[in-house]
Amino acid sequence: MTAVIAPILLILVTVGWFVLALFPALYEHFARTDVGPLRVASAATDIRYFGTSFQGFVTTQLELLRARAQNTVPRVTSLADGSGVWYAPAPDVESSVAIVFSGAAQHDIARGLVVMSESSLRVPDQAEVLKELYTGGSLETGSGCIFRAILAREDAALGPACEVLRWVNTGGAFSAGMESVLWGRASSWGSMSLSEGVRFQRIAAPRIELGWPQRELKRDMKERPLMVAPAHVTISASRWMVNGDLDVPAGQSITADVIVSGKLRVGRDAAILGGVRCDVLVAHEDSIFMRSVIATGRMVFGARCHVTGPVVVEGEVVLGDDCRVGDGESQTTISAVTVRAGNGVVICGEVWARQQGVVRALPSQITQTSSAA
């Protein structure tokens, strides 16, 4: 009897012990706890996504809040989901401005009240609003304020040393005072103006002005003599291919795409009409790039350079004073790990500083910095 049972038991125990290890796999196979496809976003990614979708949310909530409002006095109430909101109804006098915290203690708002105002809003110095803030009019803040997120239907002006933790979107002009910090996304349907010392990550507007008041600069499209390809340049499929470095002499131009495995130095007032790809770019003052500029390392533009196409850098990009990137007719994108922009820089489109961008006065001779790049 044992001679029969023992081997059967051995088989059962061995196979059973083996299958025990497979239990998590078999369970997942039969229970099917994780079978869905990855969720692929069908909507386009837009920097204003949070702003526009929050607007939709606000619209539904405002109807409820308006229905509940008995007078025009701001008060603390609740949203449809029960969360707290500081709500300022439309005032009797159209031009009046509501002041956050009238009717609520500062720490209540900082602790977790959404702020919604039907009309323009003013936020006093050092205020903290750690939930979303919405204003149907414009927004004006004092200094040292901290916000989680801001949606303003009209203009918004942040005072000095303010901080936005997640996003800000304005229907009108947006400005940030000196030494403010814009984490996440800042976008405006109007113009954007960031004072010196402002730090940012992702910003977008039809026209972004950085630092001191901008001057009107015309791109000089005069005819420049064509550069003769040096011996180490290979021309292939209308591209200049360079294994090593390339210097474009001052005042000359190249019409082809330029691909340089090393450093590309572009002399003063030179122009490249094709796209550029290099490791390091050093562009001296007044140089012009009519298409995209891509670098795997670093990019330094001297004062008053013009770039029309996208600027993509896998490291740092330095924009000298009064540089112009994109224009009113064709907005463009700057993408870099860090962005350092001098005063008077104007960018039309979007800037994505993956770590951080900063508006900071640059040394007067930016080309000296360039040579060290």
By CB under 8 A, name the one of 352, 357, 362, 370 that touches another protein: 352
By CB under 8 A, name the one of 276, 280, 317, 339 that touches another protein: 276
If one asks whether residue 71 binds another protein (CB under 8 A), the answer comes out as no
If one asks whether residue 364 binds another protein (CB under 8 A), the answer comes out as no
Count, residues near another protein per rule CB under 8 A: 88
Residues in 45-64 at the binding interface with another protein, rule: CB under 8 A: 45-47, 50, 53-54, 56-57
Residues in 125-144 at the binding interface with another protein, rule: CB under 8 A: 130-132
Contacts 24+ apart (CB under 8 A), 18-21: none
In the bound state with another protein, the residue whose beta carbon lies nearer, of 26 and 105, is 26
By CB under 8 A, name the one of 133, 186, 259, 307 that touches another protein: 259
- Compute how many other C-beta atoms are within 10 angstroms of the C-beta atom of residue 328: 9
If one asks whether residue 8 binds another protein (CB under 8 A), the answer comes out as no
If one asks whether residue 11 binds another protein (CB under 8 A), the answer comes out as yes
CB of 201 to another protein, least distance (A): 10
Residue 256's nearest CA partner among 225, 301, 291, 296 is: 291
By CB under 8 A, name the one of 90, 229, 337, 358 that touches another protein: 337
Q: What is the distance between the terminal CA atoms of the chain, rounded to a whole angstrom?
A: 87
Distance CA 170, CA 161 (A): 19
Alpha helices, H only, the chain: 2-21, 23-31, 49-68, 106-112, 366-372
Phi first, then psi: give them for residue 361, nearest 5 degrees.
-55, 130
Q: Is 15 exposed, middle or buried (0-12, 13-18, 19+ CB in 10 A)?
A: exposed
Distance CA 358, CA 349 (A): 17
In the bound state with another protein, the residue whose beta carbon lies nearer, of 16 and 225, is 16
By CB under 8 A, name the one of 312, 318, 345, 359 that touches another protein: 312
If one asks whether residue 37 binds another protein (CB under 8 A), the answer comes out as yes
Residues in 283-302 at the binding interface with another protein, rule: CB under 8 A: 291-292, 294, 296
DSSP state, 8?
Answer: H
Q: Are 269 and 220 in contact (CB under 8 A)?
A: yes
In the bound state with another protein, the residue whose beta carbon lies nearer, of 96 and 355, is 355
By CB under 8 A, name the one of 118, 155, 209, 257 that touches another protein: 257
